[in-house]
């Protein structure tokens, strides 16, 4: 193809696709503008293929404008959204207004002095409260809820100059591993639209994978960032519990939830974490731990780094390709100068059971505020106050939240508390002690993220236990409160992505970035894009039914 | 009415009454327990002191108000409690529209304090004290207020005001150590006095800043186990607490005497009918599913912090009462009166100090100042008559500048205008005539114009002197210094 095209959506048209996820009706028309920027943005000429640091570089050097970049991702959304369905709400008008403001800032005398994410498009999982923009947490019970406040992370991203393209789809209240539990619609894996993107932050992972945003923000309670990152072949980081504020983040399980980034390439995640990390006076669980300059050490390599490999994380149900690719990735790190050591995390096998006591217990309490009295869905046809509250919950919650409310209520009930909740907290201490023990002799622990590649949509939806097992390798990390990162480490025999999980010491995200960055520098998996993300593929690809 | 009285008239069994009180007191703070909204909601338009946190909006998180924690620990120290080093908040889960999050942040198994006691006047033995155990003092958050309305068409609906939601609330749980309704009343008065001394709560029951639930049970005297407990709620005054307990004692005794069983339940006091009615049976009781609040880290209170807070404790009513009696030589009754409030006690001590006459200060305050407060309904720190004014008045009396008869007039003017007594005396010429020359003439006149009295005096009639003094005072329009008049009369008559 001699000439190439950059899809640029018209303002009004793109503006119309707000709430398109809910209505299922994307606006159609795009205008194709002939551009010649090959030399700037690589052979495809597609701005949506840029990594965040590349975009930053081009923006600061005024080689591209934030408005162009916003048009590019909004056009990509228009082009691919019917197949992927990453979003519950696309905020095109807001994105273009923010991009315009970014361009003004970048047109000043010192563009390099602009905030680090100025003009960079980012998608937000739909559980981050955004002033004036509907925030549903993937649930019908919050349909129509428009927060009058920003989550702290949203405010910090705003201050960092980011451009918000929309609110990404998710499993309802972050409960799930496939995004099929969304109260609105499922999201499709950009690598194979008949498969799930993982979850619960499936929309955030798919959006970055499909080039609908350069970055995105998700939350990870038991693997909800790392597992979809793995299944969609993007980088996803779950920071240390307490590293990032949860204020304004719709809560699932308060002692486990943590906010983190998705990106193409590790450096983008470092840029996002840099912007959002640090103590927040509005969240008493954030830690007063200094936030290092992540990008200043990210290129330091892994020479001398001690990597632990826990035998327990290479489980019986694991797909052979997954195990092979993860072991190859560990060898690659070894080849880069790291040393590899066996470690043992024997209590991790109880991680899933522990998690499925603690998380539902906290969720059963966190979700009790949704009763239709103050916001969201309200059963206004019921006259009696108590009946109206009950009816709102019966209609507004999907099956998975209902299941977990019941599990959690049971676990906390008088007479069962000691046997379940208290016991689970005790096991939690043991799981954490295992990690402390292992980290006495290693710097990083390497394991698979998910025992399998992306599964077919519908394959596990009627089998909650099978769905829960998707997170068997990621859950212990949340239970212990540690940071974990998922980086693309290859493709299985069907061409489906596999991720490598690196687990770090508490508040040592810097070492995870360094190791992950060294790894991706030695491979090219992170630069591979799903076919539907490539602009020249658009015309030929049939929309997903 | 006491339980022993009832038990005495009971033909069957002699019952021991067991009462434990749970008091909720709003803590005086600038901001709410877990957000920065003002906690001074009284008089504010509905739903104006609210934010995402106290509204329980999605994603909002609590941040602890340290002042409220300190007030709770100070209260616990004043109630002789132990302060554990580790404490935490828990979630108390239940659903009601006035509860914004579907759970109340409270404290379950590791409260800020435990195992203290409170001394109160023993109503059965005046002048004696009784002691009741304090189980714990912990901290939680208040709920919103619901107003149930029936409009003119008969339609009913509920209105919610979230201003009160999240206001810090101390819960003071008492041991089941009280034995009569009057003891409960005395306990509450002592507790309220301490809270007000500490300044941690207004403890005004009519404003809802002080609420009391009573657990009442009966058991045959000598039996170790408690009887089935009834929790009585909805009392809106100390008087209604006492009446509700009295009613409940009779109700339970009648059931037991008739061979019935007491049902463990929650009952509500209906003030205008003076009865308690069933609200909730034990079977319908909530399972609150307490668990540690994951949004708030545990609280560590090191011994040094406890010592610091203890050093902030003011002198408490009982200690002050004893000190007043000892240091100023006043009766227990007067000491009691002067220590009713911390402000009154301070008023007294300042007056005593400034005037150098504690006895006079005590007299003036217990007699005149309290009467003025009673008449005007004002608080001691709201009246124009300050300790400096009262001390000035006392000094004018002690130096003989004014007479006892003039003093009330000076006091009234000082109260109404705020002028200093010595200025009033000066301006209005109310000072006593202590000028010997001026008085000598008046004395000579009195002797000259009352020969019969003079004769009587010389004949040894004691009353004659009083008559002559009166004549001099009349001539000086009451301003003659009585001592000097006496002296001059004697000089002239005897000389």
Q: How confident is the model over A199-214, as pLDDT tens digits?
A: 999 999 999 999 999 9
Does B482 lie in the same domain as B373? no
Does B455 lie in the same domain as B323? no
3-state secondary structure of A111: helix
Question: For the segment A229-249, what is each residue's pLDDT rounded down to a tens digit?
Answer: 999 999 999 999 999 999 999
Domain closes at, from B411, B428, B445: B428
**What is the extent of the structural domain holding A30?**
2-347+433-535
3-state secondary structure of B478: coil
Does B151 lie in the same domain as B44? yes
Mean pLDDT of A52-67: 96
Task: For residue A200, say if its preceding peptide bond is cis, omega within 30 degrees of 0.
Answer: yes
Taking the CA of residue A132 and the nearest CA in chain B, the distance in Å comes to 14
Residue A132 to residues A93, A94, A142, A149, A367: CA-CA distances in angstroms?
13, 10, 14, 8, 22
Is A390 inside any structural domain? no
**What is the extent of the structural domain holding B151?**
15-305
Is B8 inside any structural domain? no
Give the model's pLDDT for residue B283: 61
Mean pLDDT of A89-96: 97
| Number of structural domains found in chain A | 1
Query: Is residue A45 within 8 Å of A38, Cβ to Cβ?
Result: yes
Mean pLDDT of A297-320: 93
d(CA B415, CA B364): 13
d(CA B91, CA B63): 14
Provide the greatest CA pair distance for chain B. Answer: 101
Does B396 lie in the same domain as B278? no
Mean pLDDT of A297-312: 96
Q: With 80 as the cut, is the pLDDT of residue A175 above it?
A: yes
Contact between A284 and B158 using a beta-carbon 8 Å cutoff: no
User: What residues of A are in the B interface, CB distance below 8 Å?
Assistant: 127-129, 135, 137, 142, 145, 147-149, 151, 246-251, 253-255, 281-285, 361-362, 364-365, 367-369, 371, 373-375, 385, 389, 409, 412-414, 417, 421
d(CA A123, CA A107): 24
Give the model's pLDDT for residue A117: 98
Q: Indicate the pairing of strand B210-220 with strand A259-263.
A: unpaired
d(CA B486, CA A338): 112
Give the model's pLDDT for residue A536: 60
Residue B441 to residues B437, B448, B483: CA-CA distances in angstroms?
7, 10, 16
Give the model's pLDDT for residue A31: 35
Residue B62 sits at the chain A interface (C-beta within 8 Å):
yes
Is B6 inside any structural domain? no
DSSP state of A39: H
Q: With 60 as the cut, is the pLDDT of residue A24 above it?
A: no
| Residues from chain B contacting residue A137 (CB–CB below 8 Å) | 58
Tokens read off for A175: 């409960």
Give the model's pLDDT for residue A12: 31
Q: Residue A189's beta-bridge partner residues? A: A192
Is A544 inside any structural domain? no
Which chain B residue shows the shortest CA-CA distance from A364? Answer: B93
Is B9 inside any structural domain? no
pTM of the model: 0.86
Contact between A412 and B291 using a beta-carbon 8 Å cutoff: yes
d(CA A383, CA A379): 9
Is A500 inside any structural domain? yes
Interface test with A, best of B50, B53, B55, B58 (most A CBs within 10 A): B58
Q: With 70 as the cut, is the pLDDT of residue A11 above it?
A: no
d(CA A245, CA B452): 101
Question: For the segment A95-142, what is each residue's pLDDT rounded down to a tens digit?
Answer: 999 999 999 999 999 999 999 999 999 999 999 999 999 999 999 999
Q: With 70 as the cut, is the pLDDT of residue A491 above it?
A: yes
Residue B57 sits at the chain A interface (C-beta within 8 Å):
yes
Is A418 inside any structural domain? no
Highest mean pLDDT (candidates A252-266, A413-427, B233-247, B352-366): A252-266
Is A375 inside any structural domain? no
* Domain of residue A457, CATH code: 3.90.1300.10
Q: With 60 as the cut, is the pLDDT of residue A343 above it?
A: yes
Residues of A noted as catalytic: 125, 200, 224
d(CA B90, CA A175): 24
Q: Which long-range contacts (CB under 8 A, 24 or more apart) does A349-352 make?
A: A349/A312, A350/A427, A350/A430, A350/A431, A351/A431, A351/A472, A351/A475, A351/A476, A351/A479, A352/A468, A352/A469, A352/A471, A352/A472, A352/A475
Give the model's pLDDT for residue B381: 84
| Residues from chain B contacting residue A429 (CB–CB below 8 Å) | none
Domain closes at, from B428, B455, B482: B428
Contact between B61 and A409 using a beta-carbon 8 Å cutoff: no
Does B226 lie in the same domain as B109? yes
Q: With 90 as the cut, is the pLDDT of residue A43 above it?
A: no
> How far does Cα B66 stand from its chain's mean position?
26
Q: Residue B16's beta-bridge partner residues? A: B219
Give the model's pLDDT for residue B462: 73
Of A284, A385, A421, the CB nearest to B97: A385
Query: Is residue B321 within 8 Å of B110, Cβ to Cβ?
Result: no
Angle in degrees, 0-180, between the axes of helices A52-60 and A92-106, rounded to the nearest 10: 50
Does B331 lie in the same domain as B279? no
Does B89 lie in the same domain as B230? yes
Q: Which phi and psi (to 5°) does residue B240 adopt? A: -70, -30
Contact between A369 and B56 using a beta-carbon 8 Å cutoff: yes
Give the model's pLDDT for residue A81: 97
Query: Is residue A250 within 8 Å of B58, Cβ to Cβ?
Result: yes
Give the model's pLDDT for residue B439: 74
Taking the CA of residue B95 and the nearest CA in chain A, the distance in Å comes to 7
Does B87 lie in the same domain as B133? yes
Edge-to-edge order in the sheet of strand B168-174: B116-121, B129-141, B168-174, B15-26, B210-220, B230-235, B265-270, B275-281
Is B319 inside any structural domain? yes
Is B184 inside any structural domain? yes
Q: Which long-range contacts (CB under 8 A, 24 or more apart) does B144-151 make?
A: B144/B97, B144/B98, B144/B99, B144/B100, B145/B98, B146/B97, B146/B98
Residue B41 to residues A46, B69, B143, B145, B382: CA-CA distances in angstroms?
58, 20, 12, 11, 23
Is B5 inside any structural domain? no
Does B160 lie in the same domain as B221? yes
Domain closes at, from B240, B274, B305: B305
Is A404 inside any structural domain? no
Contact between A251 and B56 using a beta-carbon 8 Å cutoff: no
Is B310 inside any structural domain? no
pLDDT tier, B347 (very low <50, low <70, confident <90, very high otherwise): very high
Contacts of residue A455, Cβ cutoff 8 Å, sequence gap at least 6: A178, A195, A196, A470
Q: Which range, of A252-261, B160-169, B451-460, averages the lowest pLDDT?
A: B451-460
Residue A188 to residues A93, A218, A364, A456: CA-CA distances in angstroms?
25, 17, 29, 10
Does B447 lie in the same domain as B409? no
CB contacts < 8 A, A to B, total 103
Of A248, A371, A413, the CB nearest to B287: A413
* Domain of residue B481, CATH code: 1.10.10.410
Mean pLDDT of B144-163: 90
| Number of structural domains found in chain B | 3
Q: Indicate the pairing of strand A339-343 with strand A306-310.
A: parallel
Please compute, for residue B432, the number of CA atoms within 13 A of its CA located in the half-sphere on the CB side: 22
The residue among B274 and B185 whose pLDDT is bigger is B185
d(CA A220, CA A202): 11
d(CA A55, CA A60): 8
Does B81 lie in the same domain as B189? yes
Cα distance between the two ends of chain A: 29
- Output the DSSP codes for A273-324: HHHHBS-BTTBTTS-------HHHHTTS--TT-EEEEEGGGS-TT--HHHHH
Does B319 lie in the same domain as B273? no
| Residues from chain A contacting residue B297 (CB–CB below 8 Å) | 284-285
Is A312 inside any structural domain? yes
Of A283, A361, A373, the CB nearest to B291: A361
Query: Is residue B194 within 8 Å of B313, Cβ to Cβ?
Result: no
Q: Three-state secondary structure along A168-220?
A: ECCCHHHCCCCCCCCCCCCCCECCECCECCCCCCHHHHHHHHCCCCCEEEEEC
Give the model's pLDDT for residue A480: 97
């Amino acid at each position: 193809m001699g000439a190439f095209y950059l899809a640029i959506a018209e303002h009004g048209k793109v503006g119309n696709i707000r709430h398109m996820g809910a209505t299922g009706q994307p606006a159609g028309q795009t205008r194709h503008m002939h551009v010649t920027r090959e030399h700037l943005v690589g052979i495809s000429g597609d701005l949506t293929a840029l990594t965040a640091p590349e975009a930053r570089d081009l923006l600061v050097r005024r080689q591209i404008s934030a408005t162009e970049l916003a048009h590019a991702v909004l056009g990509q959304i228009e082009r691919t959204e019917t197949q992927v369905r990453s979003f519950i709400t696309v905020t095109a008008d807001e994105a273009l207004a923010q991009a315009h403001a970014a361009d003004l800032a970048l047109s000043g005398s010192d563009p390099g002095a602009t905030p680090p994410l100025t003009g960079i498009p980012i998608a937000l999982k739909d559980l981050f409260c955004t002033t004036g923009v509907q925030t549903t947490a993937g649930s019908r019970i919050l349909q129509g809820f428009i927060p009058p406040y920003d989550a702290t992370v949203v405010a910090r991203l705003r201050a960092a100059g980011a451009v918000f393209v929309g609110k990404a789809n998710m499993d309802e209240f972050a409960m799930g591993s496939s995004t099929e539990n969304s109260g609105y619609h499922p999201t499709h894996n950009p690598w194979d639209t008949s498969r799930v993107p993982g979850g619960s932050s499936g929309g955030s992972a798919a959006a970055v994978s499909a080039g609908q945003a350069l970055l995105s923000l998700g939350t990870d309670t038991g693997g909800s960032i790392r597992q979809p990152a793995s299944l969609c072949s993007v980088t996803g980081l779950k920071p240390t519990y307490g590293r990032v504020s949860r204020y304004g983040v719709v809560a699932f399980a308060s002692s486990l939830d943590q906010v983190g980034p998705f990106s193409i390439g590790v450096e983008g995640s470092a840029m996002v974490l840099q912007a959002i990390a640090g103590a927040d006076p509005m969240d008493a669980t954030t830690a007063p731990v200094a936030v290092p300059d992540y990008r200043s050490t990210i290129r330091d390599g892994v020479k001398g780094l001690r990597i632990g490999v826990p035998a327990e994380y290479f489980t019986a149900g694991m797909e052979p390709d997954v195990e092979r690719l993860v072991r190859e990735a560990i060898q690659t790190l070894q080849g880069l100068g790291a040393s590899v050591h066996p470690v043992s995390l024997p209590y991790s096998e109880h991680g899933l059971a522990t998690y499925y006591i603690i998380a539902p217990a906290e969720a059963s309490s966190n979700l009790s505020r949704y009763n239709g009295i103050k916001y969201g869905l309200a059963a206004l046809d019921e006259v009696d106050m108590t009946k109206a509250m009950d009816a709102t919950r019966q209609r507004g919650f999907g099956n998975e939240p209902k299941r977990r409310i019941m599990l959690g209520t049971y676990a906390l009930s008088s007479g069962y508390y000691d046997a379940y909740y208290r016991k689970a907290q005790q096991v939690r201490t043991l799981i954490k002690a295992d990690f402390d023990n292992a980290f006495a002799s290693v710097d990083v622990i390497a394991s698979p993220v998910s025992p399998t590649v992306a599964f077919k949509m519908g394959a596990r939806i009627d089998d909650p236990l099978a769905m829960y097992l998707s997170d068997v390798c990621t859950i212990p990390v949340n239970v212990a409160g540690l940071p974990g990162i998922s980086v693309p480490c290859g493709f299985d025999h069907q061409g489906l992505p596999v991720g490598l999980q690196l687990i770090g010491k508490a508040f040592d995200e810097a070492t995870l970035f360094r190791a992950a960055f060294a790894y991706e520098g030695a491979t090219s998996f992170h630069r591979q894009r799903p076919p539907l993300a490539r602009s020249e593929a658009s015309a030929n690809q049939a929309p997903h039914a | 009415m006491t339980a022993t009285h009832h038990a005495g008239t009971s033909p069957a069994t002699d019952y021991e009454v067991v009462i434990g009180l749970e008091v909720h007191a709003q803590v005086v703070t600038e901001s709410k327990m877990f957000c920065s909204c003002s906690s001074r909601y009284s008089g504010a338009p509905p739903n104006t002191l609210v934010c995402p946190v106290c509204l329980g909006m999605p994603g909002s998180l609590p941040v602890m108000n340290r002042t409220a924690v300190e007030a709770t620990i100070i209260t616990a120290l004043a109630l002789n409690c132990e302060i554990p080093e580790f404490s935490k908040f828990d979630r108390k889960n239940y659903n009601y529209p006035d509860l914004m999050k579907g759970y109340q942040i409270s404290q379950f198994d590791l409260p800020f304090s435990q195992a203290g006691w409170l001394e109160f006047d023993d109503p059965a033995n005046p002048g004696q004290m009784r002691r009741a155990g304090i189980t714990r003092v912990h901290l939680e958050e208040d709920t919103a207020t619901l107003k149930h309305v029936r409009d003119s068409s008969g339609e009913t609906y509920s209105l919610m005001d979230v201003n009160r939601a999240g206001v810090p609330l101390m819960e003071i749980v008492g041991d089941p150590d009280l034995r009569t309704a009057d003891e409960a009343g005395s306990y509450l008065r002592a507790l309220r006095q301490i809270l007000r001394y500490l300044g941690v709560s207004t403890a005004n029951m009519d404003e809802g800043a002080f609420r009391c639930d009573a657990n009442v049970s009966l058991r045959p005297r000598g039996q170790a186990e408690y009887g089935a407990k009834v929790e009585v709620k909805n009392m809106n005054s100390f008087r209604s607490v006492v009446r509700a307990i009295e009613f409940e004692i009779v109700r339970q005794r009648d059931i037991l005497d008739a061979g019935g069983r007491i049902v463990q339940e929650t009952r509500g006091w209906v003030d205008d009918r003076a009865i308690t009615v069933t609200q909730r049976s034990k079977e319908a009781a909530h399972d609150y599913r307490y668990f540690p609040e994951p949004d708030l880290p545990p609280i560590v209170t090191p011994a040094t912090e406890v010592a610091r807070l203890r050093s902030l404790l003011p002198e408490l009513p009982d200690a002050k009462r004893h000190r007043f009696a000892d240091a100023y030589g006043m009766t227990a009754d007067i000491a009691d009166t002067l220590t009713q409030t911390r402000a009154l006690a301070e008023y007294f001590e300042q007056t005593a100090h400034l005037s150098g006459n504690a006895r006079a200060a005590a007299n003036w305050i217990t007699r005149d100042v309290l009467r003025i407060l009673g008449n005007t309904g004002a608080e001691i720190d709201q009246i124009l008559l300050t300790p400096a004014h009262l001390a000035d008045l006392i000094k004018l009396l002690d130096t003989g500048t004014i007479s006892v008869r003039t003093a009330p007039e000076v006091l009234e003017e000082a109260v109404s205008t705020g002028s200093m007594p010595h200025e009033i005396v000066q301006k209005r010429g109310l000072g006593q005539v202590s000028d010997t020359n001026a008085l000598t003439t008046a004395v000579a006149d009195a002797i000259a114009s009352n020969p019969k009295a003079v004769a009587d005096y010389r004949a040894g009639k004691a009353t004659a002197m009083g008559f002559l003094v009166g004549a001099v005072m009349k001539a000086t329009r009451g301003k003659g210094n009585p001592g000097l008049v006496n002296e001059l009369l004697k000089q002239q008559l005897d000389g």
